[in-house]
Copies of this chain bind each other. A is one copy, B any other.
Amino acid sequence: MSTNGFFSKAEFLNHWQGHRNLTRNTIEKFPEKELFEFSIGGMRPFAELVKEILTVGLPGLEGMVNNTTEGFNHDVPFNTKEALLAEWDRQTPLITEYYNQIPEERFPEHFNLFGQFNAPIYENLLYFVDNEIHHRGQGYVYLRSLGIEPPMFWDR
């Protein structure tokens, strides 16, 4: 009998990091000014969506590893494309490092993420990726609206 369920712990990490790579490529497609200023329908500019992603995934993992349930803070001082990408790259190996510290046995356990999202750990981890795909898809519309071709969706 398989011991991997739907897929393995390592395969999820690979899936997440692949999506992160695609999101990084999406950030790079934006001109500096439009990254921080362009929006549609009163929504947040793409830089704000990226800040949300940056302040949910790694801080969430840190909470799971250290069993802390402090709130999140999306108001972070990454005010240039270079600063956003530098933070993105800083987090890449740390996400792998923290993720690997969570024993697979904990994945079905409930954890009160940020003191407000009480769900099984695997659901919180899926949420990080789902939320990133959701907001990146919105970034694709911004890019198309600016006349810029987004990265290929399947190219991780």
Report chain B residues within 8 Å CB of A123: 15
Does chain B have a CB within 8 A of A94?
Answer: no
**Among the listed B104, B127, B137, which residue makes an inter-chain contact with A5, where contact means beta carbons less than 8 Å apart?**
B104
Report chain B residues within 8 Å CB of A40: 40, 141, 144-145
**Among the listed B107, B133, B153, B154, which residue makes an inter-chain contact with A6, where contact means beta carbons less than 8 Å apart?**
B107
* Chain A positions 79 through 121: 1 when the CB is less than 8 Å from some CB of chain B, otherwise 0: 0000000000000000000000000110110000000000000
A105 CB to closest chain B CB, in angstroms?
Answer: 5
The tally of residues in A whose CB lies under 8 Å from a CB in B reads 44
Q: Are B41 and A107 touching (Cβ within 8 A)?
A: no
In the bound complex, CA of A35 to CA of B125 (Å): 32
The residue on B at minimum CB distance from A127 is B154
In the bound complex, CA of A3 to CA of B1 (Å): 9
Interchain residue pairs with CB less than 8 A apart (29): A1-B3, A1-B105, A2-B5, A2-B104, A2-B105, A2-B107, A5-B5, A5-B6, A5-B7, A5-B104, A6-B6, A6-B8, A6-B12, A6-B107, A7-B108, A40-B40, A40-B141, A40-B144, A40-B145, A41-B141, A41-B144, A41-B147, A43-B141, A130-B133, A131-B153, A133-B133, A137-B137, A137-B138, A141-B141
